[in-house]
Amino acid sequence: MAYTAQLTSAASDLHERMFPGYVSDYLRTDPELIERFDNFAFDEVIAGTPELDERTRFMCWLATLLGCQGVDEFRGMASAALNVGLEPVALKEIVYQAVDYLGMGRVFPFLAVTNEVLEAHGVALPLPEQATTTPDHESRKAGGEQAQVAAFGEHMHGFHDAGTGSRKLINQWLVRNCFGDFYTRNGLTMAERELMTFCYLAAQGGCEAQLKAHAGGNLHCGTSLETLVAVVSSNLPFIGYPRTLNALSVLDEVAAAQQ
């Protein structure tokens, strides 16, 4: 007789809210895996990270799936996020924000999936305009510097002109493109953008120096160290233990530096 997955009531209830009326065929083909994953990710992990509200949790899951390139899981989770109330603009902004941290080569498939999911939910595209800067250098520079200062502090004034040679050029692009084109957009708060960035970096791995910097950015934006630990823990089912432990080690360094 085929094994029947034994899902907890909490895991079953969340699954029904995420995917109303849907019964995964994996319950037939892989009931033991689905049993253990759903009970862990959608019950045990959530119970263990009560610091996170549902909207933040789903946003972090989406950013994490972008970071680890989990496009198939992202497709389902994007639909689930909309079903539990995430705004279409927030979903699209999480994808846009990823471009500067993952590159368009890795984000493009997620953009296509996001558009498919939004239209399947009856959302008309394009979404309302969210840009607050104009395409010229000066607008992007001014907005980008303001965004950098908001994210990291007053010492970021003048970063556009810091450095020499190719490093100075990259610094200029960071201000005008990364911050001036993306961080200045509406749809997510500055604190939310920094948190999404933290999730991209933790999920892709190999970016520990940048992860440490953006942990500092999150703290500057008002996100506590305890919340960052909860975010890393909540994201664990989607990226595994090695990258989770690496991210926690970075947060340990940040905590030690604060003492």
- Report helix, strand or coil for 92: helix
Q: Cα(41)–Cα(237) distance, rounded to whole angstroms?
A: 6
What are the pLDDT digits (tens) for 144-181?
999 999 999 999 988 888 777 888 999 999 999 999 99
Is the CB of residue 198 less than 8 Å from the CB of residue 191?
Answer: no
Percent of the chain scoring above 70 in pLDDT: 100
Q: Is 230 left (phi over 0), alpha (psi -120 to 50) or beta?
A: alpha
The 8-class DSSP code of residue 43 comes to I
How much is the pLDDT for 146? 95
Residue 135 tokens read as 């395409």
Burial readout 126-154 (b: 16 or more C-beta within 10 A, e: otherwise): eeeeeeebeeeeebbbbbbbbbbbbbbee
How much is the pLDDT for 42? 98
How much is the pLDDT for 204? 96
How much is the pLDDT for 160? 82
Q: Which of 202, 179, 182 is nearest to 63 (CA)?
A: 202
Q: Cα(94)–Cα(196) distance, rounded to whole angstroms?
A: 7
Q: Which of 74, 60, 99, 100 is nearest to 198 (CA)?
A: 60
How much is the pLDDT for 161? 81
Give the chain's residues under pLDDT 50.
Answer: none
How much is the pLDDT for 158? 86
